[in-house]
C-alpha cells in the first residue's frame, strides 16, 4: 500500500514533477521510422507535452512543440522546408532545436525572431524507431538492446494507446502469478471450449533479482525443475519502462519488447516491438528483412468490449479497470507482490538519485558499454508451448501484416499453420 502522496510521486510525469524528471533522463520511442515514409508530420504526446515530429526536405527529423509561439496554430499542419518547418498560419519557420529561423512578414532587419523559441528535442534512430530525449544535456546514448540491433531479423511494431497510467502497466511486468490466472484460467473460461492453455499451469515459486538493466523475474511451474528456462533464466523488466520476453523455441529467437511510453498521467503509448530471427535452415525472404511493419493493435470492439480471447487485451482490461491512475492507498499487497515492492523501491531510489543530480539506473554514456546490451531471455517460454501459430494468433502479432509470412517461416506443424483461428 502507498500513501496518496507516494502514489502521486510515482505516477505523475508532467514537466516539473519528480517522476517526470526521472523519465526525462531516458530516450523514448515516438514513432517507427517507416511511419514517416509517406508523411511529413506526426503529433506526439510525450510526458505531458504536445509535440510534433516532422521530416524536413533534406530528410532529417525534428521534434518541436506543437503550438506555434506566434498565435498557437498547430505545426502538425506545417510546411516542411530544407532545414525545418514553417507554421501554416503566417509562415514562421522553426528548426529542430525550436529556434525561430524566419518571420516572413516582419520588417527587414527585425531581430524579433531571435527572441522567439519553442521546445525542440533531440531525436535518434535505432532499430527502426525514432527515439526522443526530453532531459537535460548532455544527452546519454540510446541503449543498444539486443533485439534492436540484431542482424537478420524481421521487425515489426504493434501500437495501442491505453487509457491509463504507465505504472500499473509496468507493475504487471513484475507480477508473474497473473499469467496463471489471467492468461490461463480466465482465458480458458472465456474460450469456453474446454481447451487447456499452457499458461494455466500452476505457479509454485517466483523470484526477482535486480541486475544492471532492471529486474529479472523467474517463475517455477508445477512439474518443472529449477534448471528450466522459466526459472533458471527468466526474463527482465528493463528499467524503467520496458518488458523483454523470450522465445518459445530453441531453434530461433524472438525478441519482444513491450515499451510503455508515458504520454501523460492517464494515457500510455504501448509499443510491442518484435524482432524475429528465423532458424538457420529457413532463410527469410529479403522483402521481409527489409520491411518494418507498423500495425494498430485493437484491444476492444466498437462497443467498447474487450477482445478477451487475446492475451494483450486480457492484460489491458486489467490495467484499465484499475482506474486511470490506480488508487494504491486501497490495495492489499500479498507475498506474491514482492516484485512490485522491489520495483517501487527502485523507482523511489532512482528518484532520489536524480534529485541529487546523479544519473539514474540504465542511463548509458560509455559507447564501449553500448555495443550490444544482451538481456537474459528464456529460450523455451512455457506460456507459449502450444506452437507458434496458435500463440501468435492470440497476441499482438495477429494484427501484423506479416502474420502469414511469419507462420509460414516459424510454425513447424503444417496443420497448425493452416488453422484459421
Ligand atoms: S500562428 Fe504560427 S506563424 Fe502565426
Ligand atoms: Fe500478462
List pLDDT tens digits, range 223-232. Answer: 999 999 999 9
Residue 417's pLDDT is 79
The answer, yes or no, to whether residue 343 has pLDDT greater than 50, is: yes
Same domain, 297 and 186: yes
The answer, yes or no, to whether residue 348 has pLDDT greater than 60, is: yes
Domain that holds residue 115: 27-133
Q: Give the number of other CB atoms < 10 A from CB of residue 302.
A: 6
Same domain, 129 and 260: no
Same domain, 211 and 126: no
Atom of ligand 1 nearest to the CA of 73: 1
The answer, yes or no, to whether residue 420 has pLDDT greater than 60, is: no
Same domain, 91 and 179: no
Residue 141's pLDDT is 98
Residue 387's pLDDT is 82
Q: Give the number of other CB atoms < 10 A from CB of residue 312.
A: 24
User: Model confidence at 386, in pLDDT bands (50, 70, 90)?
Assistant: confident
The answer, yes or no, to whether residue 318 has pLDDT greater than 60, is: yes
Same domain, 129 and 155: no
225-262 tens-digit pLDDT: 999 999 999 999 999 999 999 887 888 899 999 999 99
Same domain, 118 and 169: no
The answer, yes or no, to whether residue 356 has pLDDT greater than 60, is: yes
Q: Give the number of other CB atoms < 10 A from CB of residue 187.
A: 21
Cis status, amide bond into 138, omega within 30 of 0: yes
Residue 176's pLDDT is 95
Sheet holding 129-133, edge to edge: 27-32, 129-133, 123-126
Nearest CA to ligand 1 atom 1: 71
Same domain, 98 and 247: no
| Cα 340–chain centre separation | 19
Name the 3-class secondary structure at 398. helix
81-101 tens-digit pLDDT: 999 999 999 999 999 999 999
The answer, yes or no, to whether residue 366 has pLDDT greater than 50, is: yes
Residue 242's pLDDT is 98
Nearest CA to ligand 1 atom 4: 90
Q: Which of 100, 133, 166 is the last residue of a domain?
A: 133
Cα of 193 from ligand 2 centre, angstroms: 21
Same domain, 71 and 165: no
Atom of ligand 1 nearest to the CA of 72: 1
Calculate mean pLDDT across residues 277-295: 92
Q: For the domain that residue 82 is a member of, what is the CATH number?
A: 2.102.10.10
Same domain, 254 and 399: yes
Greatest CA span in the chain, whole angstroms?
80
The answer, yes or no, to whether residue 71 has pLDDT greater than 80, is: yes
For the chain, how many residues are written? Answer: 421
Q: Where are the beta strands (DSSP E) in 227-331?
A: 235-238, 242-245, 253-264, 267-277, 292-296
Q: Which of 71, 103, 133 is the last residue of a domain?
A: 133
185-221 tens-digit pLDDT: 999 999 999 989 989 999 999 999 999 999 999 999 9
Q: Considering the domain boundaries, does residue 18 fall inside one?
A: no
Cα of 49 from ligand 1 centre, angstroms: 19
333: Cα within 13 Å, side-chain hemisphere: 16
155-184 tens-digit pLDDT: 999 999 999 999 999 999 999 999 999 999
Please give the tally of structural domains in the chain: 2
Strand partners, 258: 243, 272
Q: Considering the domain boundaries, does residue 404 fall inside one?
A: yes
Q: Considering the domain boundaries, does residue 180 fall inside one?
A: yes
102-114 tens-digit pLDDT: 999 999 999 999 9
- Mean pLDDT for all residues in the chain: 95
Q: For the domain that residue 403 is a member of, what is the CATH number?
A: 3.90.380
Pick from 282-286, 347-351, 384-388 the range whose average pLDDT is largest: 347-351
Residue 281's pLDDT is 85
Contact 201, 184 (CB under 8 A): yes
Contact 278, 409 (CB under 8 A): yes
68 close to ligand 1 (CB < 6 Angstrom): yes
Q: Considering the domain boundaries, does residue 138 fall inside one?
A: no
| Distance in angstroms (rounded) separating the CA atoms of residues 273 and 161 | 15
| Distance in angstroms (rounded) separating the CA atoms of residues 134 and 27 | 8
Cα separations (Å) of 411 from 247, 338, 385? 13, 37, 12
What's phi and psi for 146, nearest 5 deg? Answer: -50, -50
92 close to ligand 1 (CB < 6 Angstrom): yes
- The C-alpha cell of 386 is what? 502450444
30-60 tens-digit pLDDT: 999 999 999 999 999 999 999 999 999 999 9
Closest ligand to C-alpha of residue 89 is 1
Amino acid at each position: 500500500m502507498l500513501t496518496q502522496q507516494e502514489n502521486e510521486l510515482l505516477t505523475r510525469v508532467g514537466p516539473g514533477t519528480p517522476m517526470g524528471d526521472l523519465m526525462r533522463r531516458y530516450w523514448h520511442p515516438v514513432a517507427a521510422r517507416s511511419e514517416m515514409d509517406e508523411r511529413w508530420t506526426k503529433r506526439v504526446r510525450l510526458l505531458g507535452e504536445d509535440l510534433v515530429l516532422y521530416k524536413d526536405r533534406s530528410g532529417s527529423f525534428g521534434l518541436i512543440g506543437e503550438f506555434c509561439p506566434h498565435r498557437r496554430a498547430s505545426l502538425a499542419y506545417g510546411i516542411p522546408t530544407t532545414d525545418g518547418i514553417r507554421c501554416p498560419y503566417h509562415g514562421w519557420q522553426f528548426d529542430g532545436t525550436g529556434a525561430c529561423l524566419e518571420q516572413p512578414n516582419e520588417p527587414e532587419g527585425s531581430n524579433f525572431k531571435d527572441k522567439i523559441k519553442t521546445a525542440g528535442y533531440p531525436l535518434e534512430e535505432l532499430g527502426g524507431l525514432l527515439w526522443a530525449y526530453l532531459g537535460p544535456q548532455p544527452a546519454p546514448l540510446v541503449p543498444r538492446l539486443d533485439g534492436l540491433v540484431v542482424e537478420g531479423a524481421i521487425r515489426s511494431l504493434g501500437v495501442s494507446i491505453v487509457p491509463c497510467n504507465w505504472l500499473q502497466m509496468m507493475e504487471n511486468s513484475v507480477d508473474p502469478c497473473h499469467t496463471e490466472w489471467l492468461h490461463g484460467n480466465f482465458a480458458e473460461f472465456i474460450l469456453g471450449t474446454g481447451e487447456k492453455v499452457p499458461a494455466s499451469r500452476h505457479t509454485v515459486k517466483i523470484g526477482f533479482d535486480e541486475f544492471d538493466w532492471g529486474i529479472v523475474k523467474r517463475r517455477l511451474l508445477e512439474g518443472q525443475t529449477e534448471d528450466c528456462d522459466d526459472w533458471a533464466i527468466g526474463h527482465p523488466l528493463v528499467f524503467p519502462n520496458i518488458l523483454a520476453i523470450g522465445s518459445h523455441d530453441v531453434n530461433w529467437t524472438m525478441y519482444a519488447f513491450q515499451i510503455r511510453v508515458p504520454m501523460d498521467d492517464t494515457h500510455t503509448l504501448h509499443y510491442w516491438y518484435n524482432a524475429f530471427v528465423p532458424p538457420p535452415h529457413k532463410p527469410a525472404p529479403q522483402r521481409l528483412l527489409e520491411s518494418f511493419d507498423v500495425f494498430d493493435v485493437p484491444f476492444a470492439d466498437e462497443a467498447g468490449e474487450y477482445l478477451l480471447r487475446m492475451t494483450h487485451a486480457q492484460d489491458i482490461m486489467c490495467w484499465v479497470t484499475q482506474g486511470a491512475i490506480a488508487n494504491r492507498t486501497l490495495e492489499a499487497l500479498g507475498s506474491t507482490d514482492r516484485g512490485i515492492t522491489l520495483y517501487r523501491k527502485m523507482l523511489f531510489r532512482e528518484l532520489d538519485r536524480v534529485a541529487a543530480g546523479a544519473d539514474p539506473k540504465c542511463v548509458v554514456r560509455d559507447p564501449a558499454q553500448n555495443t550490444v546490451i544482451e538481456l537474459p531471455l528464456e529460450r523455451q517460454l512455457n506460456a507459449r508451448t502450444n506452437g507458434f501459430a496458435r500463440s501468435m494468433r492470440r497476441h499482438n502479432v495477429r494484427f501484423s501484416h506479416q502474420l502469414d509470412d511469419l507462420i509460414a517461416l516459424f510454425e513447424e506443424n503444417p496443420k497448425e499453420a493452416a488453422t484459421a483461428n
